[in-house]
Amino acid sequence: MRTLNLHQLATFQIVAKHSSYVRAAAELHFSQPAVSAQIRLLEESLGVKLFETIGRKTHLTRAGEELYLYSQKIFFLIDETLDSMDALRSPHYGRLGIGADTTFGTYVIPGLLGKFHKLYPNVQIELEVVNPEYLIDALVHNRLDLVIMGNYAVEVPVFVAPVLANELVLTAPPTHRLAERRAVPFLELSREYFLVREPGSGTRESLELAFHEAGIPLQVSMQMGNNSAIKQGVAAGLGIALLSRVALDIELEIQRLVILDVEGFPLVRQWRLVHLQQKHLSATARAFKAFLLQQVDQRLSAAPHTSQGTHTRRKDASL
Ligand code: PGA
């Protein structure tokens, strides 16, 4: 293999810069014979003469001029390479690929990313907000660094940590027949029609499970692929819905929607931070993980540990 000795090349560059072996030796803190020996070895390995001495002056030969141009490019690239490796060791640079399920990704993570961005303004964040089924696929195939989701039923070893409790509430327009009632029995829901999320949604899974456990059929009026469409549909009187409390702040404030007080609700799921156990997290991803775990909301602190992808009910719930 042909090689180029970088140490000799660096010496060559300094001799060329000064057009003098003596001044190069002074800069390098070597003896002049040591510098000459380096240049001779380089000339031998390349098979060309790099300097010629005319009178008392040292000049670059044609080959020397050419090598000087290349040496500048080579050392520039080496600098760039070292900068890039430094950046990868630092949490302040680089790319962060994260994924979140539809609800967390829409209503919780933007605020968290705003705070993270203030601390790490140069990190390039790429966020995927998608259905949990897609998230699991992206996680398992190593397309994302970290994901936040309510379900971590994956077949590979993963790191899992609770991030936030997800209270799922029944919502309806203020004019709904159950809006003013308190402690409505679950059985009353058998008369209601529901707007539900798409298959694969954790919210939908919890609703179906609650009805299954109560032994009553779930009547679906319409399936809609996102929370905003469901809120519009509920407000328009198309049915009631189970939605995350975090998705309802504005609608509750302007009294466009209300939360129904039905026994057994809210259902509580748990959002979790998940990454592949074997994943080598970059410094940036490690910084985000630490940041997220620090931010675990005190008000909605972690719910009791639940089995994967399922929910718990309030202790006082009766069906
Ligand atoms: P979803 O997920 O927004 O897709 O329903 C939420 C969850 O799994 O808790």
Average pLDDT, the chain: 90
Separation between Cα atoms, residue 285 and residue 91, nearest integer Å: 8
**Would you call 81 helix, strand, or coil by DSSP?**
helix
Q: Could you tell me the distance, in angstroms and rounded to a whole number, from the CA of residue 168 to the centre of ligand 1?
A: 10
Q: Of ligand 1's atoms, which has the minimum distance to the CA of residue 202?
A: 8
pLDDT band at residue 302 under the 50/70/90 scheme:
very low
Q: Could you tell me the distance, in angstroms and rounded to a whole number, from the CA of residue 200 to the centre of ligand 1?
A: 8
**More confident site: 88 or 230:** 230
Residue 319 has pLDDT above 80, yes or no: no
Separation between Cα atoms, residue 153 and residue 130, nearest integer Å: 16
Q: Of ligand 1's atoms, which has the minimum distance to the CA of residue 102?
A: 3
Asked which of 40-54, 122-136, 290-304 is least confident by mean pLDDT, the reply is 290-304
Q: Could you tell me the distance, in angstroms and rounded to a whole number, from the CA of residue 310 to the centre of ligand 1?
A: 11
Helix axes 6-18, 62-89, angle to 10 degrees: 120
Tokens representing 37? 């020996």
For the chain, count helices (H), then strands (E).
11, 12
| CB contact at 8 A, 123 and 92 | yes
Q: Of ligand 1's atoms, which has the minimum distance to the CA of residue 203?
A: 5
Separation between Cα atoms, residue 239 and residue 189, nearest integer Å: 11
Asked which of 79-88, 98-107, 184-193 is least confident by mean pLDDT, the reply is 79-88
- The predicted structure's pLDDT at residue 307: 37
Task: Choose which residue among 109, 152, 167, 201 to substitute to test ligand 1 binding: the one with the highest number of ligand atoms within 8 A of its C-beta.
Answer: 201
Q: Is 275 in the pocket of ligand 1 (CB under 6 A)?
A: no
Q: Which percentage of the chain shows pLDDT scores above 90?
A: 79
pLDDT band at residue 311 under the 50/70/90 scheme:
very low
- pLDDT per residue as tens digits for the range 1-21: 788 999 999 999 999 999 999
- The predicted structure's pLDDT at residue 151: 79
Secondary structure string (H, E, C) spanning 206-275 = HHHHHHHHHCCCCEEEEECCCHHHHHHHHHCCCCEEEEEHHHCHHHHHCCCCEECCECCCCEEEEEEEEE
Residue 297 has pLDDT above 90, yes or no: no
Q: Could you tell me the distance, in angstroms and rounded to a whole number, from the CA of residue 206 to the centre of ligand 1?
A: 9
- pLDDT per residue as tens digits for the range 27-49: 999 999 999 999 999 999 999 99
- pLDDT per residue as tens digits for the range 56-87: 889 999 999 999 999 999 999 999 999 888 87
Separation between Cα atoms, residue 188 and residue 207, nearest integer Å: 15
Residue 282 has pLDDT above 50, yes or no: yes
Residue 109 has pLDDT above 90, yes or no: yes
Separation between Cα atoms, residue 268 and residue 48, nearest integer Å: 77
- The predicted structure's pLDDT at residue 147: 96
Q: Is 245 in the pocket of ligand 1 (CB under 6 A)?
A: no
- Choose among 104, 95, 90, 82: nearest CA to 124: 95
- Choose among 98, 102, 133, 113: nearest CA to 243: 102
Q: Could you tell me the distance, in angstroms and rounded to a whole number, from the CA of residue 305 to the centre of ligand 1?
A: 17
Place of tokens 């203030």: 118
Mean pLDDT of 189-211: 95
pLDDT band at residue 24 under the 50/70/90 scheme:
very high
Q: CB neighbours of 86 closer than 8 A, spacing ≥ 6?
A: none
Residue 314 has pLDDT above 50, yes or no: no
Q: Is 102 in the pocket of ligand 1 (CB under 6 A)?
A: yes
- Choose among 280, 283, 279, 281: nearest CA to 120: 283
Q: Could you tell me the distance, in angstroms and rounded to a whole number, from the CA of residue 242 to the centre of ligand 1?
A: 11
Mean pLDDT of 84-112: 92
- Residue 215's CB is within 10 A of a number of other CB atoms, namely 10
Q: Is 132 in the pocket of ligand 1 (CB under 6 A)?
A: yes
Q: Could you tell me the distance, in angstroms and rounded to a whole number, from the CA of residue 141 to the centre of ligand 1?
A: 20
Q: Could you tell me the distance, in angstroms and rounded to a whole number, from the CA of residue 204 to the centre of ligand 1?
A: 8
- pLDDT per residue as tens digits for the range 157-174: 999 999 999 999 999 999
- The predicted structure's pLDDT at residue 305: 40
- The predicted structure's pLDDT at residue 304: 44
Q: Of ligand 1's atoms, which has the minimum distance to the CA of residue 104?
A: 3
Q: Is 269 in the pocket of ligand 1 (CB under 6 A)?
A: yes
Mean pLDDT of 102-123: 95
Task: Name the residue at shortest CA distance from atom 9 of ligand 1.
Answer: 150
- The predicted structure's pLDDT at residue 8: 97
**Which helix H or strand E contains 149, and what residues bound it?**
strand 146-149
